[in-house]
Amino acid sequence: MNRVSGKVAIVTGAASGIGRGVAELLAAEGAQVVATDLAAGPGIVQHDVTDEAAWQRVVDNTVATHGRLDILVNAAGIAVWADIERATLADFRRCNAVNNEGVFLGCQAAIRAMKANKAGSIINLSSVAGLVADPDAPAYCASKGAVRLLTKSIALHCARRGYNIRCNSVHPSFIATAMVEGVINANPDPAKMRHALETAAPLRRMGEVREVANLILYLASDESTFTTGAEHVIDGGLTAR
C-alpha cells in the first residue's frame, strides 16, 4: 500500500520483538529503514541508545545516506522484574538509562534532523506499565511512566515552535515477544505465569507484534498528521477496568 513511501525511518531495538516487526512493516510499506540494535547483525546497525555520541552518528549517517529523516521509532527497551525490596540501584539506573534516557537522546538527535524537513513523526514505546503500576517492576514502571510525559513535553515543544514534528507514545500490554518469553521462563512456574499473562486482558490473550506494528505504521504515516502528544494504548482492554 506504500503508506510511508519515500520516507526515511530509524527504528531502534530492531533485532527482535516489536522493533523488528515495525522495521519490517515500515520497509514493506515503502520506507527506507535504518534498523539499529545493541546487538549487530545482518541489516542491523550496532547502536547503544544510552550513548549520546552514538545517536548523533546514527542520525548523521542516516541523513548522509538517505538525504533526510522522517520517522523515529524508539523501540529499544529492557525489563527488570524485581520488587522494591529486591531491585538494586544499578537495576533502576540501567532500566532508566535504556528505556527513558535512550528515548530522550533519540528524540533530541532526531528533532535536529527533522527540522530541515519541516515535518517528522516520533513514536516512543512506553507500556501499560507507564499508565498503571506493577508491584514487581518499579524500575520498569518508573522508566515507562517517564516516557509518557517526556513524549507530551516534546510534542508541545515542537508544536509551539512550528516544527510540524509530531511525537506520540504507544502503550502495549503483554505482547508475544522474546522478552516476554524470558519473563515467563524465568518464573518458577512458567505454565502458571504464561496463563496469567494470557488472561490478564479482557480479550484473554497476549497481543501480537503485528498488531503493535500496525498502530505504529499509522502514527508514522501522513494518516495521523493531526495526532501528537497522545497515548495510544494497545492492551486488549487491560487498562479499561
Cell of 116: 530541515
Burial class (CB in 10 A: 0-12, 13-18, 19+), 66: middle
Q: In what order do the strands lie in the sheet with 71-74?
A: 44-46, 32-37, 8-11, 71-74, 120-125, 165-172, 231-234
The string over 85-113, giving b where at least 16 C-beta atoms fall within 10 Å of a residue's C-beta and e elsewhere, is eebeeebbebbbbbbbbbbbbbbebbbeb
Cβ(108)–Cβ(69) under 8 Å? no
Give the active site residue among 55, 104, 140, 174.
140
Listing DSSP states for 11-52 in one string gives ESSTTSHHHHHHHHHHHHTT-EEEEEESS-BTTEEE--TT-H
Classified as helix, coil or strand, 74 is: strand
Closest CA relative to residue 99, chosen from 165, 2, 179, 5: 179
146, containing H or E segment: helix 138-161
Has 163 been annotated as catalytic?
no
DSSP state, 101? I
Q: Supply the residues annotated as catalytic.
A: 140
